[in-house]
Structure 1
Amino acid sequence: MSIQYRQDMPPPGGFEAVKYKRNLPFRGPSGLVILGAVTAVCAYGFYRVGMGNLERRELEREKVWSRIHLVPLLVAEGDRDAYRRQEAALEREREIMKDVKGWEPGKSVYNNARYRSAESIVVL
């Protein structure tokens, strides 16, 4: 008994070509386009920072000059307030010490024209 072997052969015309290349779909912009976009965004950001610095510097200059021009007004206002407070304090002193004979409101309580602290006075 003899067994007949049949050899497996390629189909007529041969097999299809083996597909070994990557066939990937388009997945967005190229690296050069992305780099260009990032550069443009950074340039715009630096431009805005520069404009903000100029604006901040101008506001600071305006604030300094407004303070310079307001100083005389503020000093005068402070002087008026100090005078008003001093007059009110004298009036309170007059009211409190009205029954004390020889008391002069606003006069220094020291016998010397020069103020001396308590530590500099030596008591024997």
Structure 2
Amino acid sequence: PAVRAPITSLAAAITVHRHVTFHHSTSPGNSSLRLYHSLQKPITATMPQDMPPAGGYAPVQYKRNLPSRGYQAYLYMAGMHLIMIWGTYKYMQGTREQRELAREKMWARMHLTPLLQAEEDRDQVRRHFAAQAREKELLGSESKIYNSDRYALHDLASISPPGLFSLLTPGL
């Protein structure tokens, strides 16, 4: 309901004064006299105001009313930490396994080295006797390099293939 209240602000009074002045100056008759009288009287025009309904307005909802989506934050954090702990555990297991495999490989090499060395020695002896047999077949007699019957490994210069020395020293 609109209730008329007296004008109390200066801006409202000026607006009403301009309204009264404009309408009185455009109306027929003695406008200056009307203006004079309108300025002499206090301006007490009433303006309509909106008032709240009886009993007041309903309370304003200022909180968000959205449905909760997903789980609570602490559950996500707990899940993330569990996944990280599981990943760290699996990483450490893999590291341990790699370390154990490297240790096993090292021990296997240590235990197989004498066997492999014996195989290499047998192969060298077989080649040495084959070379002596070829030499005896070609030369007809047995020539001893070290003047001994005892087997000894030859140094690199005596068993190097022909032409290697000429490749290393091109000027000769």
Radius of gyration: which is bigger?
2
Q: What corresponds to 1:83 in structure 2? A: 125
SS in 2 for 1:23: coil
Counterpart of 2:88 in structure 1: which amino acid? F
Task: Describe the superposition over 1:83-111 as per-residue Cα deviations: whole angstroms up to 9, x where unpaired.
Answer: 1111222223233434xxxxx445339xx
Q: Does 2:85 align with 1:43?
A: yes
Query: TM-score, length-normalised on structure 1?
Result: 0.61
Q: What corresponds to 1:108 in structure 2? A: 145
Gaps of 5+ in 2: 1-48, 147-154, 158-172
Identity %: 46
For 1:106 and 1:14, the matched residues in 2 are separated by 130
Deviation at 1:27, TM superposition (A): 1.5
Q: Does 2:137 align with 1:95?
A: yes
Counterpart of 1:108 in structure 2: which amino acid? I
For 2:113 and 2:120, the matched residues in 1 are separated by 10
Counterpart of 2:66 in structure 1: which amino acid? L
Task: Describe the superposition over 1:24-80 as per-residue Cα deviations: whole angstroms up to 9, x where unpaired.
Answer: 221212221111111111111111222222222222222222222111111110100
Alignment of 1:5-24 (within 5 A): 17-24=59-66
Q: Does 2:116 align with 1:74?
A: yes
Q: What corresponds to 2:30 in structure 1? A: none
Query: TM-score, length-normalised on structure 2?
Result: 0.46
For 2:65 and 2:139, the matched residues in 1 are separated by 106
The CA RMSD measured in Å over matched residues stands at: 3.1
Number of residue pairs aligned between Structure 1 and Structure 2: 102
Counterpart of 2:75 in structure 1: which amino acid? V
Q: Does 2:67 align with 1:30?
A: no
Deviation at 1:82, TM superposition (A): 0.5
For 2:143 and 2:78, the matched residues in 1 are separated by 80
For 1:57 and 1:26, the matched residues in 2 are separated by 49
Gaps of 5+ in 1: 1-6, 99-103, 110-114, 118-124
For 1:66 and 1:19, the matched residues in 2 are separated by 78
